[in-house]
Structure 1
Amino acid sequence: MKINITYKLFAFVFFGITLTLYAQNKQLRAFTLEDGLPQSQVYAISQDDKGYLWLGTQGGGLACFDGNNFKVFNENHGLGSNYINALTTINNSVYIGTKRGLTIKLKSKFLNIELPEVTKISQINGDILILTKAGMYRLEDDFSTVKLTLHPEIDKIQINDLITLNDTFWLATQDGLWQFSGLINDPKAMQKIERGDFKALITYKSKIIASTFNDGTLVFESGDFDNQILIREPLRINSISVLNDNQLWIATDNNGVSVISLETNSELFTLKSSNGLTVPNVKQVLQDRQSNIWMATSGGGLYKYFQNNFKHYSTETGLNGNRVYAVHHTNNTIWISNSEAGLMRIDNYGIHNIDIPETFSEVKIKTITSDPNGNIWAGSDGRGLLFRGNIRVDSFAVDTLKRSKKLIPKTVEVARVLNTENGFPFDWIREIHVDNNAIYAATYSSGIVKFNYSPEMDSLTVYKTYATAQGIKDLYIHDMTKDDKGRIWYTTRSGHLGYLYKDTITHLGAVLGLEVPINTIVFQNNTMFLGTAGQGIWWSNDEDYSTFKKLKGLKEGASKNIYQLIFDNQGYLWVGTERGVDKLELDKDTQIKDAFFFGRNDGFLGIETCLNAVDKDDRGHLWFGALYGLTEYQPAEINQNTEKPVIYLEDVKVAFKSIDSISLSDWTNTNKVLQLHSNQKQVSFSFKTVDLDHPNGVEYRYKLNDNAWSPWSNVATQDYSELNYGAHDFVVQSRNHRWNESEPLRFSFHIESPLYKRGWFQWSIIGLALLALALITQQYIKRIKQKNIKDKERLELENHLLTLEQKALRLQMNPHFIFNVLNGIKAIAPTKPDKMNETVNSFATLLRETLINSRKDTIGLDQEIKTLRHYVEVERLMAEKPFTYDIIINSHLDVEEILIPPMLIQPFVENAIRHGILKGGREGVLKIQFDTTEEDLQVTVSDNGIGIYSSQQQKPKTDHQSMALKVTRERLTSISGKDALSISEIKNEDGSIGGTVIVFKIPLETDY
């Protein structure tokens, strides 16, 4: 396809404009009002023992910085003045020199001391000295001040600095440099060494360094002022500091900071407006414990300086815009797209602006690549493709010797746009990949197009478009790359993965099982890594890459939103996110072995990286495009102090009130124990590890007593309520972003038990209770004994009466029994004279046994059965008709062991014979049965007579009642209680009466 180009050839010949600005490894980060700084004029800076930076401003008061936030104190909080000139920290107290004198911050309180305007606060030999515009003062232990009389010439003038070396004091004043010895309050040999407005003093080894405001800096041995070295520049000096062991940092009010080597006395470099500072007036420079250097400026706020492996490019160093959407390296040149402001390139000669067609100058260029001929291809949002490269043209030249024309080749630079207006099928280009003679362009929502372009012929050939019909199920492509087998892989917005190989699409679908955008893809040693939006990094080393695992390890990256992935020459995986970049060290099992985060505080000033805007150059340097510029990473060793973190207690609250009366540093990891009252059971702790580089990377864990550690978290407070009484130990520990752990910090406290919980009180109560219980028990036992005596007497009487009653009943039964038998014998005498002798003999035996048994309370069951047998035999002899009887015993006990009252069963047997069997018409059957349980002896007497109710009806109507039955009932009632006796009739199957059964129970009694 031929593209008609209306531009003339010379319109495509470009000459890059070279910029001489260079980025620096010496990074500067500004903290301004937008970051929370109360005032841009910072005059003083100090770091306390905990690691906090304290900043004194002009008009904004005091600020405390923890690396993340500024906490501001001003006159509304009790500060003596919002205009601060000097700061120093001693024993966790902040000494503040203001226009109105001295203010001391003691924990949460401010103590104001009225003095002349303070210029500096020094601690020398244990004395706290306040230098003012009207002499020097010493702070006493009671916070009073004493004016020191030094010399008439200096007691009323401005004193700027004071140092001591080898028992000699050096004093910098606005009128000269002074030297004296002796005590600070009793100076000796006071002499002026040099005239001039001396602003700052410092010692270096055995040397004194003295800087003037406008006459340079003097360097001399302490005892040899005559052999001095004068460093003439810089001038207009505010302060000096020795940093990095042998560097003199000189802060000026008109030219930033000059860094001088104290070994050669030559200037190493400067920091000023041309390389990062926005203002020239630097008041003070301080190096913190993490080797960072901080600069307090007048008008520019606070600056953090650190030397690292990152070099940053932004609009301040020559870029047209800070947003870098695409990065590409080719032929020792870095090409970038710049905030809808065209293309730029960076090489050894600097930063160059690239002229491109006007239609492409104000568009977002999202991808850049190059072909084997070195031509540059760029894809845009809505404007198609840009080709920029060299084409060959032939022209005639005259040979001056032969005066002949020759056709010689010549190359010129051209730039052309390919879009829908001139034959290219799409305008929205996400990614470009060059493969030999073919070029593949991934669109935003229309798939992939394969084409070729000949710039010499101005000819475009579109081979094929791969879309839904060709197998791409998700056309929203985010990234493309090629593997070692020649497959061109693509990832999509919906989490799909596929590849193009030999003009065929193989679409694997949502290989992660998640509908999440896969932003970037990279290969390393036949392992595929996918970076997702919100779900971290996934990897697979399958032959067909069908299954993926999430990249995990002991540590993790700073974010799960992955925008960039690239491996450096050392094998580290670099991950670009919205927070900066992570450097991941992977082990042989593709697990994260270690993780290094680089954010704004580490020199990665671009902050949020842009999608796939990353590349590696021939030197192994990495280039990251971000929203706030371009960052180059240069692998090199940087020595930085990585000291062990230290944790401190910020506050201890008891019953929600802070304890202001103690110094927490004096109570931690000591034998001191905080004593609390019994109602003070709520205790809360606030703790802190200050990390100015990575404040958000600090984590904490804690425990109470011997309990297990809590999980690591960013929470820096812990509250306990309803604590148990007694001794407690609160232990807390921190770790920094590198997982270096602090020493555990312990705070001991004891909650006093209430009166009722104390041992002596409890034992006293127990003793009194036992005594009272003993007295009550004694009285109770006494009453019980008295009651028992009375009950015993009553029971003995009742038993005696019962015994008499039983005997009386038996006496009542015996005459009745004898009477009945005699009547029977009398009745048989006329009819059965032959049985008289046998009956009388049996009766005599029975009578003898009855008389013997009647004297006893109980007899053996065997004896009772024997007596019953004799009685039944007598009755059989006297009976008019025969009957049979049976005595049955169902018991596991021996009948000799079972005891029973005498004459208890005979009356029932007599009634069964006389009133049941003898009155019936059938042959009589008498059954006597004994059954035992664990508690009772049950006696059953049954007959087959006419029944008890028929027998009672046949009795003549008389007042006479059966004496035997009545007496026996009464005996049973006295022995077994009411309802002990049961008498019932036996019913046959045809409803007729089959006899009578008598059942009664008595308590089982044995003789063992």
Structure 2
Amino acid sequence: MKIRSIILCIYLVSRMTSFAQQPISNQLTEVHGLPSMLVYDLFLDQKGKLWLGTEEGIYWYDGFEFHGISLPHARSTAVSGIVEAPSGEILFRNFSSQVFVLSNGKTKPLQLKTKNGIIQDFKEFTRSTNGQFYFLKDSVIYTTPNPVTDSASVIWDQKVAGAPVRWLHFVVNDTLFFSEKHIVDLGDQKIYPNPFKTRATGFFENQLLQFNYANSAYFYLGINDSMSIFKDQRKTIINHTYFESTESVWLCTRDGLSNLRKGKYRTWFSGEFVTDMLSDNDGNYWVSTLNNGIYRIPKREVYWFTGNEQILQNRHVTCVQWKDNNSFFVGTNDGKVYLSTTEGKTNLVFDSKFKEPIKQILFLNPDTLGMKNQPVWAFVGHSIYFLNAKFEMINHAINASKGLTKLEANNYLFTSGDECGHYDIQSNQKTIHRFRRGRAILVQNGTQFIGYDDSLMVKTPNSNWRAVSSEQGSIVCSALIGYRDTVWIATLNQGLLTYINGRVSAQSASKDIGRGIHMKYHRGRLYISTTKGLYSIQNGQLNITNISQQLGLPQGAVPYFDLNDSLLLIALRNGLIYCNLNKIENHLESHNLDRISMSTDLKNKYDYDENELTLGYDFWNYSSNNYKLFYRLDEGPWKDHPLFPTQITINTPLPGHHVLQMSLGNEPSDAHIWFSQAFRISPPYYATWWFRVLVGLIPLLLVAFYYSHRIKQQKIRSLQELRISKAEQARQLSQLTALRSQMNPHFLFNALNSIQDFILQNDKGAANRYLGKFADLIRNTLTLSSSELISLQDEINALENYLELEALRFNDQLAWKIEIANGLDLSYYRVPPLLIQPFVENALKHGLLHLEGSKSLWIRVSESHDLLCIEIEDNGIGIKASLSQKDKNKEHNSFALQANRSRIDLLNNLYSGKLNLEIISPSQHTIGTLIRIQLPNLRHS
């Protein structure tokens, strides 16, 4: 069944579209605030905001008002070529070749960055569909992904066949630019001959076309044969082309707007100089003109229906009624009824001869009035006329009537201008219920309703007639309709009501909605024609939508309408409109408020002493719904606010966290909360948590002060003890210095003895060399011994100088070697001066001096577990043999060992016992000695 309905819908729409004369549109001119009737360019940004380039500058439209942008640096005000940068800025060009950047409501000239500097003013610029920008200046073309943030590079810097580059145009992802007689395609770097002044190109039916301004013909790119599809436009000058898709192209011409789609060609707005067009996010088309402002065309297939030979054009239609899926009746204000088909064929089937409007058309059951198995139609106008299937009148009621509805069998309920009651069609007899003007009648589930101009009367199958009222009093009913257990009541004085199980409830207080003329229920929606237009109400949500405004219908009353599963017919004072019902209802389902945009300046925090909160907002909506704005604080009552001015002032609430909610629609609704933001009012300082905590902490602070005073006294005592400790440390340093001063003369004594030996041996050369080395050694010793710590590198250098001096005394029989571990940084470590030399001296004097044969000494420096390890090893006679010597050096030996040990002990006191001295003399042999010193890097101790 669904497939059949869809096929039928497509068939009906396709059949009726061919008879469209002119689309329904809204014109915006200076009367509506348009700053200039000369509009050159239209643009829709990423947020859905509509921009206009006009003779008076650049403007944006919020659906209600036009907002201008100041151009303080412009040489001219006329604007065109509006585009958007990836970062959100708006770019446009005036007629003086100035390109501007619009950001946060302020404009400035574009300064395009290139490798040769900043350039401004461009003959043309454009943005391709892949987002790349192109700028033309003096036949040089620059390109950049974002002219606001990125630098531009040159992609073309020469004339084409001697002619300057004049225009830029992009097609899909390739950019074409034009000289006087050639076209250059940057995609493949090809040059095509162009004997015409071509400026427009585009894909159509999978072919790339170029447009010739000279004779308004389109050509395949590189081919001079004119395409026959545009033969009807040969004499029309085309200003702009809009390629909506590969199957639809729009031509903005000096004689209207033309569209070619799937082989069908249509022209709208004949006589208008059309400059540009686009489609917005809501599906509307916008068309700009050179002298008549802009037009909005709803994209829901809404057209005037004129019938064959335009028989219904500008006729005052008072009633419409579907006869079947292919035809419908049209009643007019002069007492005539026409039968029209979906193909556009229209014939007059009834003329009452009275110039009274046809108000209702009803289908009566077969067999009525003795017409066996034949349909009977009732046309309600000056009288009630009954017609057979051939539209031959078989009976009529002579009294004028306003409405007729079936009660049972041949018994009907009727209303007229001065009486209401029951009418038996078969006997043509009336039973008057009340001599009073009736406005509406209804029979729902056996219950009868008659709306008079002073009350609403109801009669159930088990009760007599009684007047029903609401909390507001008597009900003046204008239209009635029933759906299941609910009766909807449109009133003249109380808006829209419902009647359920004997109880009346208010649904909408809007008098525009309440003044209903005709109502109908379809697929869960209630449609109401009123004096203000046609409305739709979503069942259960009370989502009220002004369909007349959405469709761009002329302002004013909609006296009648009818619909089936695919088409909606709307009767107006100046003709009949038809539209695609499925597209309308799909739009109503998805529309809500998601296509409306708004930005606010609500802050997250306010001070308590701010008397008022001012909320400013920007608002734009192109659905043509006259929404109202409602707001509330913290689930409180809704308050209404006009959309303009776009500023809300709220009395500052109490300190704390709050939520501001805003709702758009005809009525406030929790289901349509469109904007919600939390904010906070800061409390005064004496009500803040930190102030209360501070007051509570005062006793604790007093206790803390007492204990802190005691701790301070303890610290003073600790500092005194520390000073005593430092004094003791200073005393130990002085002892270490004194010890070092004792060791230095001891070393001098040994060195002078060696020189004396050379002199006694009459070895002047050796004595001379020894004295030179000795002088260097003395100088280094004096320098180093004045420091508490020296680098390991300086220690090794002094040691090497000393060993070279001693090697002379041993007549080159001494073999010594200093081994440094790989990767060890000698400049990183700090050691006490002359730490190693005394141990080396002991090894030479007491281990190697008395050794016969080869004498070897090894000094190894390495790092292990963040400790510096220094080893002094010799192959001398060993400690035991050295101690057994009974010569005059015994006293010297005792002093050296004692001095070194004392020095190590003092250093451990200073550096918390971090130095370790180990002397190893293996028990399994009696020769050789190993001394190992381990210490950290004293610089970090």
The number of aligned residues is 644
Q: 1:171, CA displacement in angstroms?
A: 1.6
Matched residues in 1 for 2:682 and 2:271: separation?
55
Counting only pairs closer than 5 Å after superposition, residues 912-951 of structure 1 correspond to structure 2 as none
8 Å CA contact retained: 1:97, 1:121: no
8 Å CA contact retained: 1:728, 1:749: yes
SS in 2 for 1:233: helix
1:354 equivalent in structure 2 = 348
Counting only pairs closer than 5 Å after superposition, residues 618-657 of structure 1 correspond to structure 2 as 621-627=567-573, 629-632=575-578, 634-636=580-582, 644=594, 647-649=597-599
Letter in 1 for 2:83: T
2:746 equivalent in structure 1 = none
Matched residues in 1 for 2:34 and 2:306: separation?
24
Matched residues in 2 for 1:390 and 1:452: separation?
14
Is the alpha carbon distance of 1:252 and 1:136 closer, same or farther for their aligned partners in structure 2, counting shifts above 3 Å? farther
2:441 equivalent in structure 1 = 480
8 Å CA contact retained: 1:646, 1:742: no
1:272 equivalent in structure 2 = 267
Q: 1:170, CA displacement in angstroms?
A: 1.8
Computing the radius of gyration from Cα coordinates, the structure with the larger value is 1
Q: Does 1:444 align with 2:445?
A: no
Matched residues in 1 for 2:176 and 2:683: separation?
54
8 Å CA contact retained: 1:54, 1:63: yes
Which deviates more, 80-89 or 157-166?
Answer: 157-166
Matched residues in 2 for 1:62 and 1:608: separation?
33
Q: Does 1:87 align with 2:41?
A: no
1:243 equivalent in structure 2 = 244
Q: 1:603 aligns with which of 536, 551, 556?
A: 551
Q: 1:152 aligns with which of 150, 159, 170?
A: 159
SS in 1 for 2:295: strand
2:330 equivalent in structure 1 = 336
Q: 2:456 aligns with which of 481, 484, 496?
A: 496
8 Å CA contact retained: 1:88, 1:122: yes
TM-score (norm 2): 0.54
2:477 equivalent in structure 1 = 518
SS in 2 for 1:101: coil
Is the alpha carbon distance of 1:124 and 1:603 closer, same or farther for their aligned partners in structure 2, counting shifts above 3 Å? closer
Matched residues in 1 for 2:631 and 2:542: separation?
21
Letter in 2 for 1:180: L
2:622 equivalent in structure 1 = 692
Is the alpha carbon distance of 1:464 and 1:575 closer, same or farther for their aligned partners in structure 2, counting shifts above 3 Å? closer
2:47 equivalent in structure 1 = 50
2:197 equivalent in structure 1 = 197
Q: Does 1:161 align with 2:111?
A: no
The Cα offsets for residues 798-819 of structure 1, whole Å up to 9 and x where unpaired, read as xxxxxxxxxxxxxxxxxxxxxx
Q: 1:370, CA displacement in angstroms?
A: 5.4
Q: 1:30, CA displacement in angstroms?
A: 3.8
Counting only pairs closer than 5 Å after superposition, residues 335-734 of structure 1 correspond to structure 2 as 335-338=329-332, 340=334, 342-350=336-344, 352=346, 354=348, 360-361=354-355, 363-369=356-362, 372=368, 377-380=378-381, 384-385=382-383, 387=385, 389=387, 424=398, 429-433=401-405, 442-448=415-421, 450=423, 463-464=429-430, 466=432, 470=433, 472=434, 475-483=436-444, 485=446, 489-498=449-458, 506-512=464-470, 514-525=473-484, 527-542=486-501, 546-551=502-507, 559-568=513-522, 570-586=523-539, 592-593=540-541, 595=543, 597-603=545-551, 605=553, 608-610=556-558, 613-616=560-563, 621-627=567-573, 629-632=575-578, 634-636=580-582, 644=594, 647-649=597-599, 684-694=614-624, 696-697=626-627, 699=629, 711=638, 716-719=646-649
Q: 1:100, CA displacement in angstroms?
A: 3.0
1:324 equivalent in structure 2 = 317
Letter in 1 for 2:516: I
Letter in 1 for 2:45: D
The Cα offsets for residues 861-910 of structure 1, whole Å up to 9 and x where unpaired, read as xxxxxxxxxxxxxxxxxxxxxxxxxxxxxxxxxxxxxxxxxxxxxxxxxx
The Cα offsets for residues 319-362 of structure 1, whole Å up to 9 and x where unpaired, read as 3436533333446643333355844432234253638769634x
Is the alpha carbon distance of 1:697 and 1:369 closer, same or farther for their aligned partners in structure 2, counting shifts above 3 Å? same
8 Å CA contact retained: 1:162, 1:169: yes
Matched residues in 2 for 1:492 and 1:520: separation?
10
2:738 equivalent in structure 1 = none
Is the alpha carbon distance of 1:40 and 1:557 closer, same or farther for their aligned partners in structure 2, counting shifts above 3 Å? same
Q: 1:719, CA displacement in angstroms?
A: 3.8
Q: 1:286, CA displacement in angstroms?
A: 1.6
Q: 1:495, CA displacement in angstroms?
A: 2.6
2:851 equivalent in structure 1 = none
Is the alpha carbon distance of 1:247 and 1:68 closer, same or farther for their aligned partners in structure 2, counting shifts above 3 Å? same
The Cα offsets for residues 713-737 of structure 1, whole Å up to 9 and x where unpaired, read as 5555334688999x99997777689
Q: 1:288, CA displacement in angstroms?
A: 1.9
8 Å CA contact retained: 1:176, 1:197: no
Q: 1:207, CA displacement in angstroms?
A: 8.1
Letter in 1 for 2:48: G
Where does the alignment leave 5 or more consecutive residues of structure 2 unmatched? Answer: 1-15, 111-118, 702-941
Matched residues in 2 for 1:508 and 1:744: separation?
47
Matched residues in 2 for 1:575 and 1:331: separation?
22
Q: 1:124, CA displacement in angstroms?
A: 8.9
SS in 1 for 2:474: coil
SS in 1 for 2:98: strand
Matched residues in 2 for 1:177 and 1:614: separation?
55
Q: 1:388, CA displacement in angstroms?
A: 7.7
1:842 equivalent in structure 2 = none
8 Å CA contact retained: 1:644, 1:741: no
8 Å CA contact retained: 2:328, 2:340: yes
1:778 equivalent in structure 2 = none
Q: 2:279 aligns with which of 280, 287, 294?
A: 287
The Cα offsets for residues 239-297 of structure 1, whole Å up to 9 and x where unpaired, read as 3344368644444444623244xxxxx53x44423xxx354643323222233332323
Q: 1:179 aligns with which of 162, 176, 185?
A: 185
Q: 2:19 aligns with which of 22, 29, 50?
A: 22
8 Å CA contact retained: 2:567, 2:579: yes
Which deviates more, 621-630 or 286-295?
Answer: 621-630
Matched residues in 2 for 1:719 and 1:89: separation?
33
8 Å CA contact retained: 1:249, 1:259: yes
2:98 equivalent in structure 1 = 102
SS in 2 for 1:350: coil
Letter in 1 for 2:418: S
Where does the alignment leave 5 or more consecutive residues of structure 1 unmatched? Answer: 1-18, 182-187, 261-265, 392-410, 419-423, 454-460, 587-591, 653-667, 771-1008
Matched residues in 1 for 2:403 and 2:83: separation?
56
Is the alpha carbon distance of 1:368 and 1:557 closer, same or farther for their aligned partners in structure 2, counting shifts above 3 Å? same
Letter in 2 for 1:476: R
SS in 1 for 2:340: strand
TM-score (norm 1): 0.51
8 Å CA contact retained: 1:583, 1:596: yes
SS in 1 for 2:516: coil
SS in 1 for 2:359: strand
Letter in 2 for 1:574: Y
Matched residues in 2 for 1:644 and 1:481: separation?
38
The Cα offsets for residues 204-232 of structure 1, whole Å up to 9 and x where unpaired, read as 99986644434655677xxxx79999685
Matched residues in 1 for 2:186 and 2:391: separation?
77
Letter in 2 for 1:605: L
Matched residues in 1 for 2:554 and 2:664: separation?
27
What's the C-alpha RMSD, in Å, of the aligned pairs? 5.9
Q: 1:107, CA displacement in angstroms?
A: 4.4
1:170 equivalent in structure 2 = 176
